[in-house]
A = this chain, B = another copy of it.
Amino acid sequence: MHRFFVDPDIIRADELSICGSDVRHIRDVLRLKPGDKILTVDGIGTEYEVALETIGRDQVTGRIIGRNTITRETKLQLTVAQAVPKSDKMDTVIRMGTELGVKDFIPVITERVVVQGNFEHKLARWRRIAVESCKQSGRTVIPEVLEPVKFTELVKDLKEWQLAVIPWEVHKGESLKDVIKDTSVTDVIVFIGPEGGFSHEEAELAKSAGVIPVSLGSRILRTDTAAVAATANIMQIFNEI
């Protein structure tokens, strides 16, 4: 069944109406007819099975014939604080991270981040990718892509998270598995460095703020690979994958 995101506000009793670009998609691309069924997801945790009733030029209406709260979301609330990388690497981090269950992404400006182009455009693009990947992965809650923040400011204010880790290539020590022993923790943040890595000062600043340095093995990982591998590994430690 085809899946669509709808605003939770438009769901009233057992009816809903869909506007916007999904209308054309339902009518002209999928060529659905009244009586056909779709799945709609409200982005905050519930999936509705909907039988289409009318398919108009600007609006599709349907009747809700089933609803279920789904468990595709992880109990772990993982934030990926990704130093903004060059080219389209952030796209990959957000796409794969969303599929793997990341709760939110914070684009981070570090010493070695090279800011290119218009941030507003980038943010809009990243948010679109989060929505698309959310849909594709069957998730019901869209991960947030927050406004960019400076590394030095973010590490000063970590009270939202119970555990913070920072893979740092200079740290040849404990792995994620070694440092994450308490899986009853629910709010975790992982910092991923940019192409040139974190500076020594940044890593020291993070450590003094209570962020735990970890090693991702002895091979040098590109920043997007590091983000995806760390996400998959953390999800595995918390039995979410």
Could you tell me which A residues sit within 8 Å of B by CB distance? 71-72, 92, 95-96, 99-101, 136-139, 175-177, 216-222, 224-225, 228-229, 232-233, 235-237, 239-241
Contact = CB atoms under 8 A, between A and B. Distances in A.
Given A99-B220, A99-B225, 7 more contacts: A101-B217, A137-B220, A138-B219, A138-B220, A228-B229, A236-B236, A236-B237
Given A217-B240, A239-B177, A241-B216, A99 B222 contact: yes
Contacts of A137: 219-222
A89 B232 CA distance: 18
A95 B220 CA distance: 12
A228 B235 CA distance: 13
Contact of A233 (B96, B224, B225, B233): B233
Q: Which 6 A-B pairs have the closest CB atoms?
A: A217-B241, A229-B232, A232-B232, A137-B219, A96-B225, A233-B236
Contacts of A96: 222, 224-225, 228-229
A228 B237 CA distance: 16
29 contacts: A71-B218, A72-B219, A92-B92, A95-B225, A96-B224, A96-B225, A96-B228, A96-B229, A99-B219, A99-B220, A99-B222, A100-B217, A100-B221, A100-B225, A101-B217, A101-B219, A136-B220, A136-B222, A137-B219, A137-B220, A137-B221, A137-B222, A138-B218, A175-B236, A177-B236, A232-B232, A232-B233, A233-B236, A236-B236
